[in-house]
Chains A and B, each alone.
Chain A
Amino acid sequence: MKTLGKTLVLSASLLMAGCATTGGHNPEDPLEGFNRTMFEFNDTVDRVALKPAATAYHDYLPSFVQTGVGNFFGNIGDVWTMVNEFLQGKVEHGANDFMRVAVNTVLGFGGVLDIASEAGLQKHKEDFGQTLGKWGVGSGPYVVLPLFGPSTVRDTAALPVDWYGDLWSYTTPVDVRNTGIVIRTVDQRAALLGASNLLEEAAFDRYSFVRSAYLQRRESLVHDGQDIDAKPSSGNGDGAPDASTKSLQP
C-alpha cells in the first residue's frame, strides 16, 4: 500500500510537471487543468466504489461496531497527532493526547472504547503538513492527488512522513494490515457521509467550492483557528467589495 501510494504521488508529480503550463488564472491554483481531471477521477472512484461501500457500512453495521472501529484507528492516529504536537511545541496538547492513548489503550481495550473523551480529554488531530506549516513552510499551490484528494505541495511532501508515522502501517501480517487500511478508509468515508451529502447540495461548482474550503481550512488548522477574525470576509484581491456594498446600507 505504501509503495503504491509512493508510486501514485510520484506519477502525480510527473503528470503535474507535464501540465504545469496549462491551467487557469487563479494564483492559488496554477495546476487547475490537472487538478480538475484528478477531481473528476476521484469523484468517479468515490461514486462507484467508496461511497457505496461506506453507505452499506453505515446502514448495515450496528453503530457500536462503527464507533469501535473509528475509536480503534483513531487511537492509533492519536499517537502521530501527539508526536506532531510535540514537534510544534504544543506540550500541553501533547501531554493530553499521551494520556488519551494511555487511557484508551489500557482501559479501553486497545482503543476500541474512547474512555478518555468521556473523561474530558479532548481529541485533537495534527499531521506533518500542519507541523511544516507551523514551522513556517508555505502551503504552495493547490494539488488534487489521485485517491488522496485535495492537498497542497507542502502537504503532499509531508504525506510520506505521515505514512512513516502511521503505526498501523507496521502491522504484520500484510493481509491483516491491508484489510485494516480498507476498513479504516471505509469507516472514515462513512463518517463524512452527512457532510458530503450536504456539500452536494451546497455547492453548484464543487471543484472551486472544495478548493476554497480546503485551502482556508488547512490555513486555519496550521494556526489552530487563532487568526480567524483577522481574515477579510471577502478573501479579496479583486477590488474593494466593502465599498460596493456601502450603498446598500440605509
Chain B
Amino acid sequence: MNIVKKLSLVFAAVAAFAYAGAALAQEAPDALIKRVSEEVMAVAKTDKDVQSGNSQRIQQVVNEKILPYVDFQRMTALAAGRYWREASPDQQKRLTDEFRALLMYTYSGAISQIRDQKIDYRPLRADPSDTEVVVNTQVIQPRAEPIQLSYRLEKTPAGWKIFDMNVLGAWLVQTYKGSFASEIGRSGIDGLIKTLADRNQKLAGNVARTGKMTAPAK
C-alpha cells in the first residue's frame, strides 16, 4: 500500500468521524423507520417491565426511542386543519401538548401488546429530491392478516420527522380531523383543548391506579 493511499484512508476516516453527526441527521427515511422500529421491537420483546405494561418504563422507552423523530406540532396543525391559523400561539402550544399526551397514552398501550410479531419493510418509492415521503411497513403476525403500518415523514434541517401514521389503512391525522372539527365547532379551540385535557387526566388516573398503560378490560 503506497503512502498516498494510506493518507487518503486516514483522511477518509477522519472525515467520516467528523461528519458522523451530520450523517446521522441525514439518515434516509426508510432507514430511520427501520432502525426505530427494530429498537422498539427489541425492547418490547425482551423487557419484562414493558411486557407487563409498566407505565414508567414504557414512557421512558417512548421518550427515548420514538419522540425525537416525531413532529407533533405539524401533526396537530394538520389535524386541526383550517382552525390552526385561528388559534393563538399559546393555544397552538397547549393543543399540541395535549394531543401529544393522548397519543403517548395510546401508543404506549400498543407497545405492551407486542409479542411474537415481526416487521416487514417495503422498498421506498421516492425520489431523492423529495422532501415528503411515505414509508410502508407491515406487521406480520401468526395466524392473522398482516397489519399495514405506514409513516409519513418530512425532511427538516434536523433530519426526517414523522408527522402522520397509517394503521390498517387509516391515517391518524385524518381520523382525528373530524373529531377536532366537531369539537371546535361545538365549543371552540379552548373547548377542544379542555376535552383532550380531561381525557388525558382520566387516562393518567387509570395509569396511576393500576400502574399499567393498557386499559383494563372491563
A212 touches B178 (CB 8 A): yes
Question: Whole-angstrom distance between the alpha carbons of A223 and B68 in the complex?
Answer: 33
The contact of B106 among A51, A198, A218, by CB within 8 Å, is: A198
Contact with B along A89-129 (1 / 0, CB 8 A): 00000000000000000000000001001000011110000
A211 touches B152 (CB 8 A): no
Chain B residue with minimal CB distance to A237? B81
Q: For B19, what are the chain A residues with a Cβ–Cβ distance below 8 Å?
A: none
The contact of B171 among A71, A200, A235, A238, by CB within 8 Å, is: A235
The contact of A245 among B77, B105, B156, by CB within 8 Å, is: B77
Q: For B133, what are the chain A residues with a Cβ–Cβ distance below 8 Å?
A: 229
What are 12 A-to-B residue pairs whose CB atoms are below 8 Å?
A122-B145, A123-B143, A194-B214, A198-B215, A204-B183, A209-B176, A228-B150, A228-B166, A233-B173, A234-B78, A235-B177, A238-B81
Q: For A231, what are the chain B residues with a Cβ–Cβ distance below 8 Å?
A: 171
Chain A residue with minimal CB distance to B156? A249
Looking at B73, B103, B170, B173, the one whose CB has the most chain A CB atoms below 10 A away is B170
B183 touches A217 (CB 8 A): no
Segment 50-77 of B: residues with Cβ below 8 Å from A: 73-74, 77
Q: Does A250 contact B (CB under 8 A)?
A: yes
Contact with B along A183-216 (1 / 0, CB 8 A): 0000000000110011011111100110111101
Q: Does B123 contact A (CB under 8 A)?
A: no
Question: Whole-angstrom distance between the alpha carbons of A123 and B140 in the complex?
Answer: 11
B84 touches A233 (CB 8 A): no
The contact of B214 among A70, A197, A233, by CB within 8 Å, is: A197
B174 touches A203 (CB 8 A): no
A220 touches B175 (CB 8 A): no
Q: For B136, what are the chain A residues with a Cβ–Cβ distance below 8 Å?
A: 225, 228-229
Q: Told that A204-B179, A208-B179, A234-B177 touch, could you supply 5 new A-B pairs with CB distance under 8 A?
A: A26-B178, A208-B182, A213-B175, A234-B174, A244-B84
Question: Whole-angstrom distance between the alpha carbons of A204 and B196 in the complex?
Answer: 7
A233 touches B164 (CB 8 A): yes
**Shortest beta-carbon distance from B204 to chain A in Å:** 11
Question: Whole-angstrom distance between the alpha carbons of A216 and B173 in the complex?
Answer: 12
- Interface size, A (range): 35 or more
The contact of A67 among B143, B177, B178, by CB within 8 Å, is: B143
Q: Does A162 contact B (CB under 8 A)?
A: no
Question: Whole-angstrom distance between the alpha carbons of A26 and B217 in the complex?
Answer: 33
- Contact of A228 with B134 at beta-carbon distance under 8 Å, contacts A51-B218, A239-B82 already known: yes
- Contact of A194 with B113 at beta-carbon distance under 8 Å, contacts A233-B163, A239-B81, A244-B82 already known: yes
Q: For A214, what are the chain B residues with a Cβ–Cβ distance below 8 Å?
A: 170
Contact with A along B115-158 (1 / 0, CB 8 A): 00000000001000000011010000011111010101000110
A205 touches B183 (CB 8 A): yes
Q: Does B110 contact A (CB under 8 A)?
A: yes
- Contact of A200 with B215 at beta-carbon distance under 8 Å, contacts A209-B176, A238-B81, A250-B157 already known: yes
Q: For B174, what are the chain A residues with a Cβ–Cβ distance below 8 Å?
A: 212, 216, 233-235
**Shortest beta-carbon distance from A60 to chain B in Å:** 12
Q: For A193, what are the chain B residues with a Cβ–Cβ distance below 8 Å?
A: 217
Q: For A244, what are the chain B residues with a Cβ–Cβ distance below 8 Å?
A: 77, 81-82, 84-85
B145 touches A228 (CB 8 A): no
Q: For B82, what are the chain A residues with a Cβ–Cβ distance below 8 Å?
A: 238-239, 241, 244
Q: Does A248 contact B (CB under 8 A)?
A: yes
**Shortest beta-carbon distance from B175 to chain A in Å:** 5
Question: Whole-angstrom distance between the alpha carbons of A41 and B218 in the complex?
Answer: 19
- Contact of A201 with B106 at beta-carbon distance under 8 Å, contacts A117-B143, A225-B148 already known: yes
Chain B residue with minimal CB distance to A235? B174
Question: Whole-angstrom distance between the alpha carbons of A74 and B105 in the complex?
Answer: 32
Q: Does A144 contact B (CB under 8 A)?
A: no
Chain B residue with minimal CB distance to A117? B143
**Shortest beta-carbon distance from B169 to chain A in Å:** 3
Chain B residue with minimal CB distance to A55? B217
